Structure 1
Amino acid sequence: MLSKDLSISLTADRFPLVRDIGKNQTDGTYTHHDRILDFDVFLFVTKGKMQVIEEGTEYFVGEMEYLFLKKGCHHWGRPLTLPGTTWYWIHFNSVVDEHVSYSDHSPMPELDYYFPDQYQYRFVMPKHGTPAFHQTLANRLQRLLEDYGKPRENGMTLISVQVYQLFLELRQAELSRIAKKTAGKPDTVAGRVMEYLTQRTEEDFDSKRLSDYVNLNYSYLSATFKKITGQSIIEAHTKLRMNKAIHLMRSTPLNVSEISERLGYRNPYYFSRVFKKVFGEPPSTYMSHFYKT
């Protein structure tokens, strides 16, 4: 029997909607409620230790540790939570557009400008751990709790946006921690490929030159890059070239034909077709959006 997926995913185009926020402190030994919820839960323990079981997986959440519990899963506990344990909790619903096909890959950092699918991806939250900013997290949660209790216009929306930012920072801190642990290791295949591509935005793609640069077979490079980034090498190179095109539109007086030539496109009409395919409109129209002197 396959184990149930306990991970919680958020999307880049919808912030989670907060249902309620609270703070608890146990007087005696505490047992987590036996329940199945229709919303996700974020817990952060500031004192003591909490015990909770999710679909048979047992967690002990210590001081300055967090835990995400997934909606639709069976949660329960034993009388193992220590007396005096104090924790904050946030109940929230993640919102997904059912008409969007979300990617499991976030846009690569080198792709700076907006693309039509820029927000159509999901990301997994770290399940359990100690955030790098744990010393300030309790204060932030206390301010959220205080704001939650104040009636104000757009109050819950403001709370939800702040919680979303907190979750994003939590995830980024965990990614940074992992990156530090792997520092000093050889560059990943995707990183080497992107290094090559970013240096060659003004020329056509050449698979042989890339293979020679990375010293790996192109078929292997292509499959590995696609697996890691969710897009092909040629797609990434094209987007990088279109990024460069937008940079030239913003920072130079060059016209479409001159930009096309600068980027190594022999035919400005072909460049315009590629640009429209990526951004949904021709470069001449895109240029009209900018404020230029």
Structure 2
Amino acid sequence: MAQQPDEAVVVGVDGSEKDGRAVDWAAEEAAATGCGLHVLHCFPLQAEGLGVGPEIDVDELGTDTVERCRARARERHPQLEVTSEILLEDPAVALVRAPHHASAVVVGGRGLGRISGRLLGSVSQKVAARAHGVVVVVRDTEAVPDGPVVVGVDPGHTDLRVVEFGFTQASRLAVGVRLVHARHVRGDGLGDPRLRRALSAAAEQQAMALAELAEDWAVRYPEVAVDVREVARHPVEALTAESADASLLVVGSRGRSTLAGLCLGSVAHGVLHECPVVAVVRVR
């Protein structure tokens, strides 16, 4: 077992069926970027009050799980450098810490409904909410391999790291990028013509900013076809619908540092329970 190498792609595993898709995605990313793959397996025994006696060998407990994941990654990428680590620690805590030295952290997520998923407080949800850097949540629903990379944007307010990650992934996968701007328009109070004019002017400015954003990144990545969608729906609904045929959905999140933040229903947390593969890019 080895400590996490710098800039590796870290995949968190727990021995369940959802490990498979997460390991596949992480291995593909590590091989494509030339980074190593680090398999991280945690036992939260102390956190659950079970205690650990000297007769328990933690490495021995997790060896089978880790070796299965290593073998799966190397089956597709024989030259990939794969390290592993087994910790006696809460998985969410370890995975939140991992991005400080990783290029990305990948975790599996079960296909739970939106409400039940939030109440359960899954590891994937906690990591996506708190971790810095890029967290990719791979659910047990298969994505469209040759589908576009969908990037949720808000013209004038989108962190460029979110867009850059989306275009980098699209270039690597040889697919297009779909920039989606969702405008959640409220219907109350629009009888006043001044409000209608103000909303119309704001929408026109956002459309211009979105077009400029698309043109700018099309120049940077000429090999990537760019599609622009403006949708008058709630952002979670819009991104879920627009990513139905996508290989990856990329969103930015400012995150929250408290458990209460997990219950507030941000766009990032909303799409985590709806879309097969979501990359959450933490922004300031």
TM-score band by shorter chain is under 0.3
From the CA coordinates, give the structure whose radius of gyration is larger.
1
Bigger proportion of residues as helix: 2
TM-score calculated relative to the size of structure 2: 0.23
